[in-house]
Amino acid sequence: MNIREDVSLKQYNTFGIAAKAKFFAEVSSLADAHEICSDKQFSKTDKLILGGGSNILFTKDFDGLVIKNNFKGIEVDGDNDEYVFVKAGAGENWHSFVLHCIEHNYAGVENLSLIPGNVGASPMQNIGAYGVEIKDVFHELEAFEIATSELVRFSSADCNFGYRESVFKNKYRNQFIITSVTFRLNKTPKFNISYGAIEHELQKMGVKELSIAAISKAVCNIRSSKLPDPKQIGNAGSFFKNPVVSYELHEKIKKEFPNVIAYPSGSEIKLAAGWLIEQCGWKGYRKNDFGVHINQALVLVNYGGASGDELYNLSQEVMDSVQKKFGVSLEREVNIV
Ligand code: FAD
Ligand code: EPU
């Protein structure tokens, strides 16, 4: 296997940060994973697993081994009257996988169209958009344990999914290389257009008969109008999670800010972080090459030459101002290295 040294990561992260990796290897088979993880040279070296680099901020060079996941392949792994089980390699591009499902009429992931990155990272933070999360269609995954070189199977319960959370984001971070994910998809679609903007977009598109292809197109249109394309402006999507607060705190905020945007979330309330950040005056903020996106205050951006540190410090300033104005603690969604 080709192990490169002092590799620039600029093209491997959608923020476009020019950090370097001391060592860099691409793994595309279990044999590759075994070879690199049992190499004595790297037994004490820090390891970082990388997919498409669309949810990561490098604040410094990585003085260890980056393992770029390149497992490929999409196959049907069984079915029954209701479901088809589709297994995808972790290195498959997520949106290409969604398009593959739509083409074969496997329903369930169409609302998750156009999310950047790879299949292997999708369970990592239980990706979600437009009313659907990975956990709703997840069957199981396989992951290679770095310490033992064993292939371990995780059920949905094992992954402990939450809002933008799983065991892989916390307890098992960088301990398992997810190699494949199997999804449980519907043979007969159950359309989910609960997110108001989808219905509106479908009307605008003049769609008479609902289909998973139409929903996917509507979601792509909405996303393209709101979110910056990383090919044009460096970013990693929402930089923060939408905060979940107590009913009491929401009531308190509402008294002073009646327009606060909030949604019920179990016994608590989820606030729109983009709105909170915008109210603090950050939307469209720019200094040198770093800033807050002009259309979506939840997205921090790199106009070209920003460093990871500048973006990290900006995120801290944003968090401090939201805390001061609303008494709400924001949490970063992006993985900081
Ligand atoms: P990376 O950025 O490469 O990795 C993310 C984390 O997962 C890292 O900690 C990494 O170590 C770990 N990881 C990656 N692959 C593996 C693996 N095979 N095994 C173990 N660990 C692994 N996210 C949403 O949920 N919803 C959205 O709507 C959404 N919109 C976005 C829009 C834009 C414009 C952008 C840039 C990002 C958006 N994101 C969204 C965030 C991002 O696309 C997702 O988090 C995506 O799943 C990241 O995939 P990746 O392959 O790029 O992961
Ligand atoms: N809003 C503002 N100002 C802003 C941004 C948003 O007032 O600058 C308001 C909007 O008007 C809207 C509300 O906030 O009323 C929510 O905004 P939006 O629908 O754009 O969604 P979001 O909460 O900002 C979340 C996810 C996205 C996901 C969309 C669609 C998180 C952290 N983000 O964004 O995921 O695509 O919903 O489901 O949950 C990501 O994780 O990277 C990501 C992009």
The pocket around ligand 1, CB under 6 angstroms, is made up of 14, 48-56, 69, 90, 115-118, 120-122, 124-125, 127-129, 168, 174, 176-178, 227, 230, 235-237, 335
User: Closest by alpha carbon to 177, among 45, 22, 33?
Assistant: 33
Identify the pLDDT of residue 254: 96
Fold of 4-69: 3.30.43
Average pLDDT of the residues of the chain:
97
- The ligand 2 atom nearest the CA atom of 227: 44
- Residue 58 pLDDT: 98
DSSP line for 38-70:
T-GGGTTS-EEEESSSSSEE-SS-EEEEEEEE-
Q: Which of 14, 15, 55 to mutate to test the pocket of ligand 1 (most atoms within 8 A of CB)?
A: 55
Nearest ligand for residue 235 CA: 1
85 touches ligand 2 (CB under 6 Å)? no
Strand pairing category for 62-69 and 20-27: parallel
Is 113 tagged catalytic? no
DSSP β-bridge partners for residue 145: 150, 176
Give the residue from 170, 118, 133, 112 showing the smallest Cα distance to 13.
Answer: 118
Which atom of ligand 1 is found nearest the CA of 143? Answer: 19
Residue 292 binned pLDDT confidence (cut-offs 50, 70, 90): very high
Q: What pLDDT does 195 receive? A: 86
Instruction: Tell me the CA–centroid distance for residue 215 and ligand 1, in Å.
Output: 22
* Ligand 1 mutation pick, 93, 115, 334, max ligand atoms within 8 A of CB: 115
Q: Identify the pLDDT of residue 34.
A: 95
Q: Is 238 a catalytic residue?
A: yes
pLDDT of amino acid 1:
83
Residue type, 128: G
| pLDDT tens sequence across 43-63 | 999 999 999 999 999 999 999
B/e letters for 35-70, b = 16+ CB within 10 Å, e = fewer, are ebbeeeebeeeebbbbbbbbbbbbeebbebbbbbbb
From residue 210, how far is each of 90, 130, 225 by CA, in Å? Answer: 30, 16, 22
Ligand nearest to the CA of 331: 2
* Contact (CB, 8 A) for 323 and 329: yes
The pLDDT value recorded for residue 231 is 95
Cβ-based neighbour number of residue 145 at 10 Å: 15
Reply yes or no on whether the pLDDT at 266 is more than 90. no
The CA 81 to ligand 1 mean position distance, Å, reads 32
239 in ligand 2 pocket by Cβ < 6 Å? no
Q: Read off the pLDDT of each residue in 248-273 and give the average, rounded to a whole number.
A: 95
Domain 234-336 grouped into CATH 3.90.78.10: yes
Model confidence over 4-31: pLDDT tens digits? 999 999 999 999 999 999 999 999 999 9
- Residue percentage of the chain with pLDDT more than 90: 97
User: Which ligand neighbours the alpha carbon of 242 most closely?
Assistant: 2
Residue linked to tokens 């344990």: 145
E strand residue ranges, the chain: 3-8, 20-27, 47-50, 56-57, 62-69, 74-79, 83-89, 128-129, 132-133, 138-145, 150-155, 176-186, 234-235, 244-245, 262-265, 268-271, 286-287, 290-292, 300-302, 335-336
Marked catalytic residue, from 113, 164, 166, 310: 164
Q: Which of these is catalytic: 133, 142, 310, 333?
A: 333
Mean pLDDT (whole number) for 222-231: 95
Dump pLDDT digits (tens) for 95-109. 999 999 999 999 999
104 close to ligand 2 (CB < 6 Angstrom): no
Token pair 């088809």 in the structure block, residue: 84
**pLDDT tens readout for residues 297-327:** 999 999 999 999 999 999 999 999 999 999 9
Question: Atom 24 of ligand 2 has which residue's CA nearest to it?
Answer: 274
pLDDT of residue 137: 98
In angstroms and rounded to an integer, the radius of gyration of the C-alpha atoms of the chain is 20
**Are 4-69 and 234-336 equal in CATH topology?**
no
Ligand nearest to the CA of 192: 2
pLDDT at residue 196 tops 80: no
Q: Alpha-carbon distance 137 to 106, whole Å?
A: 11
Instruction: Give the pLDDT mean for 104-119.
Output: 98
Structure tokens at 74: 């999409």
How far away, in angstroms, is 256 Cα from ligand 2 center?
22
d(Cα 319, Cα 177) in Å, to the nearest integer? 32
Residue 277 CA: which ligand 2 atom is closest? 8
Where does residue 115 fall: left (phi above 0), alpha (psi -120 to 50 degrees), or beta otherwise? beta
Q: At what angle do helices 212-226 and 94-103 cross, to 10 degrees?
A: 150
Mean pLDDT of 252-266: 95
Predicted local distance difference test score (pLDDT) of residue 44: 92
Domain boundaries, the chain: 4-69, 74-186, 234-336
For the domain spanning 74-186, the CATH number is: 3.30.465.10
Q: For residue 223, indicate whether it is catalytic.
A: no
User: How high is the pLDDT of residue 68?
Assistant: 97
Best CA proximity match to 127, nearest among 96, 93, 94, 90: 94
pLDDT in tens, 139-192: 999 999 999 999 999 999 999 999 999 999 999 999 999 999 999 999 999 999
Query: Where does 74-131 have alpha helices with state H?
Result: 94-103
How large is the greatest C-alpha to C-alpha distance in the chain, in angstroms? 61
Among 169, 235, 298, 300, which is best to mutate for testing ligand 2, by the most ligand atoms less than 8 A from CB?
Answer: 298
CA of 122 to the centre of ligand 1 (A): 6
